Structure 1
């Protein structure tokens, strides 16, 4: 039976191998989606939570991410970016690679044997690290100026950089072996949007099951199969990541931050924080204040 992909298509012609896209606005596209093109995204401005596959973490300016084909993902901007009267702004540069557009004849030439092998081995989502990150970021930013053959050559140069040792850091613990159906994608999108928007409040299993239009038992199976986490584990992780942001950016007490992120018990917050971040909230705040930069566990 044919499985439909989530309704999200990159606006491009069927013969276009690579497309450059600038996302500029108050917040990034906030619906969980997937597409057959590979995606390379650099965050220039904005911050929030990235969900891709079974991974949940933060994104900040300067971050670069690579997603292989059909990885469900969403860059969910922080709540401040949705304030219509606010001055927050988000800016991202993305390159989409459609290897099917090259055709099997081109992809089978000897010169692309190494690229083919890398494509087969590189599945999932990745953060870009290492000494080549700055060079790669410059190439992504300059890609808008490329046309014709220069655009094609620049695309292959970027792909060559991505194949360098130690530049890709895997974000996923598990890789889904099947795509979401259109119904599953819409259901997961509604669930994730609800959780990320309401994580600071009390959310019951019944509430989130209702959003998915499933019984509690069916929802628990559905959610665990697609995220690798239970609903409670995922919600706790969302709240801890929000707490990390507040610990760095706000002059609030630890107890105030705990309650603001949806925790009703301070001792449970401390235990959950240490389990996920491998340090106490106090230790985290002291460490990032000394470093002067954002540090989140992934």
Structure 2
């Protein structure tokens, strides 16, 4: 009986889920510091192309500065442009990748400057040291990915100082870097929505309960009046509090949550766009397409095409944006 040979010409299906980066894979040959050098703060410089540039995530925070080339950045469900000076902080387990589209022949020796650090030591230190606790809001925002503006030159100096130092001196250089990021007010969150408010804790807790219901039940009908009644508020008072707490009107927030869920399904499944539309709570495809374009700046089909590039491939049919 003859053996059947699988065709080597047929490409294997891509793993749509991001790859988890393990510590044992962080070889100095790829640009990582050796385990003997790296303590709580690990530095990494690498060029492009490289095996490190892939759709992946890890348990550490990652501070990422692009110093050469431009192209497409993928952070969670966000897709955007990058160029030299692009500075981003990603939180634990937030998938990301940067794909250069203007490489010179042979690539570049240095494209990315990276600092990785873990959550637990900072969380423990924050309990005893108020100054360290000042970083907590920044770290919480980073779980959505933060792009900073106007800091590229200072960031390059900070990266030099952190990379060149060790021990307590490195910790001091790292804290100085984080202090600049904490004070930076010119930034944007990249992936999904996050509560930001100066409301009292009791009010925030009530609004947060509404946010949790919305995010966990995206396909259910979402009537502002129902949530207002649930909290014992008039619709107008609920609307004002919700807008102050989230930065969005209730309707805009619901649309954003649904679109973010749609982005996840577009990236991680091959479901038809019409099916995704209804699965995330929209009643008709035209409204879904309109809201998607408003929030993401592209159509669902274009988002899916561009999202494929997070693996490192190029789709020549996708226009640059």
Name the TM tier (shorter chain): 0.5 to 0.7
Counterpart among 140, 153, 177 of residue 120 in structure 1? 140
- Counterparts of 1:23 and 1:141, CA distance in 2: 14
Indicate how the Cα distance of structure 1 residues 77 and 29 shifts in structure 2: closer, same or farther if over 3 A, else same. farther
With a CA cutoff of 8 Å and minimum separation of 6, indicate the structure with the bigger relative contact order: 1
Contact 1:29 1:76 in 2 (8 A): no
- Counterparts of 2:58 and 2:274, CA distance in 1: 24
Indicate how the Cα distance of structure 1 residues 218 and 13 shifts in structure 2: closer, same or farther if over 3 A, else same. farther
Q: How much does 1:235 deviate?
A: 4.3
SS at match of 1:61: coil
Q: TM-score, normalised by structure 2?
A: 0.51
Counterpart among 82, 90, 94 of residue 59 in structure 1? 82
Counterpart among 103, 111, 118 of residue 98 in structure 1? 118
* Structure 2: runs of 5 or more not aligned: 1-16, 27-33, 195-214, 217-264, 281-291, 309-314
* Structure 1: runs of 5 or more not aligned: 179-208, 240-259, 264-268, 274-295
Matched, 1:76 2:99: yes
1:29 corresponds to: 52
Map 1:193-204; keep pairs closer than 5 Å: none
- Counterparts of 1:5 and 1:237, CA distance in 2: 16
Contact 1:17 1:99 in 2 (8 A): no
Matched, 1:108 2:127: yes
2:283 corresponds to: none
Q: TM-score, normalised by structure 1?
A: 0.55
CA RMSD of aligned residues (A): 4.2
Matched, 1:162 2:162: no
Counterpart among 181, 187, 191 of residue 172 in structure 1? 191
Contact 1:34 1:70 in 2 (8 A): yes
Alignment length (residue pairs): 203
Cα deviation per residue 1:131-182 (whole Å; 9 max; x = unaligned)? x43212211133211111110111111111110142422223447x89xxxx
Larger Rg over CA atoms: 2
Contact 1:27 1:77 in 2 (8 A): no
1:133 corresponds to: 152
Q: Which 10-residue stretch deviates more, 56-65 or 146-155?
A: 56-65
